């Protein structure tokens, strides 16, 4: 299933949002639109059964397991493509029982689309936002994650 923008945020799709971002001078200069559109394409190819929901904040994409902008965002990602150098920053919320303080997060960076997808899958598992999701478990197993 394609990743879908939460309907209470906008009628525009995530693809339309990032295409629009690509027309703004600052975002275009760092290739944010290109990097994020590539990531969304990969997620759409991977997840055939699981409905992922996205909320945007500036150029960052927050992934949720339900279509409500007020719901918890478990995983966040932003990407850049500067003259062929690709870079993604991914973070996820720790489950409450693992937090050393309120709202603790794990954040990391990666310099390829393929590794960004792997890290995103790991973040989805570790955040526990998709507990029991068989498709996610299968993807993690197939990639030895």
Strand pairing class (60-64; 53-57): antiparallel
pLDDT digits (tens, 9 = 90+) for 47-66: 999 999 999 998 999 999 99
What pLDDT sits at residue 144?
Answer: 98
pLDDT digits (tens, 9 = 90+) for 91-109: 999 999 999 999 999 999 9
Question: CA-based diameter of the chain, in Å?
Answer: 42
Say if CB 92 and CB 105 are below 8 A apart: yes
Neighbouring residues of 30: CB distance < 8 A, sequence distance ≥ 6:
80, 81, 82
Say if CB 33 and CB 21 are below 8 A apart: yes
SS3 assignment, position 68: coil
Adjacent-strand bridge partners of 4? 53
Kindly report the CA angle at 19 between 123 and 8, in degrees rounded to 5?
A: 65
What pLDDT sits at residue 130?
Answer: 97
What pLDDT sits at residue 28?
Answer: 64
What pLDDT sits at residue 29?
Answer: 60
């Amino acid at each position: 299933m394609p990743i879908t923008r939460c309907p209470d945020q906008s009628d525009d799709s995530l693809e339309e949002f990032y295409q629009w971002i690509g027309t703004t001078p600052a975002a275009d200069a760092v290739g944010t639109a290109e990097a994020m559109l590539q990531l969304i394409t990969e997620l759409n190819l991977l997840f055939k059964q699981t409905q992922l929901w996205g909320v945007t904040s500036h150029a960052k994409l927050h992934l949720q397991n339900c279509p409500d902008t007020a719901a918890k965002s478990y995983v966040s990602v932003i990407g850049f493509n500067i003259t062929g150098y690709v870079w993604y920053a991914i973070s996820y919320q720790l489950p409450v029982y693992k937090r050393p303080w309120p709202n603790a997060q794990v954040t990391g960076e990666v310099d390829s689309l393929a590794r960004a997808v792997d890290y995103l899958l790991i973040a989805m598992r570790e955040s526990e936002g998709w507990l029991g999701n068989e498709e996610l478990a299968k993807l993690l197993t197939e990639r030895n994650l």
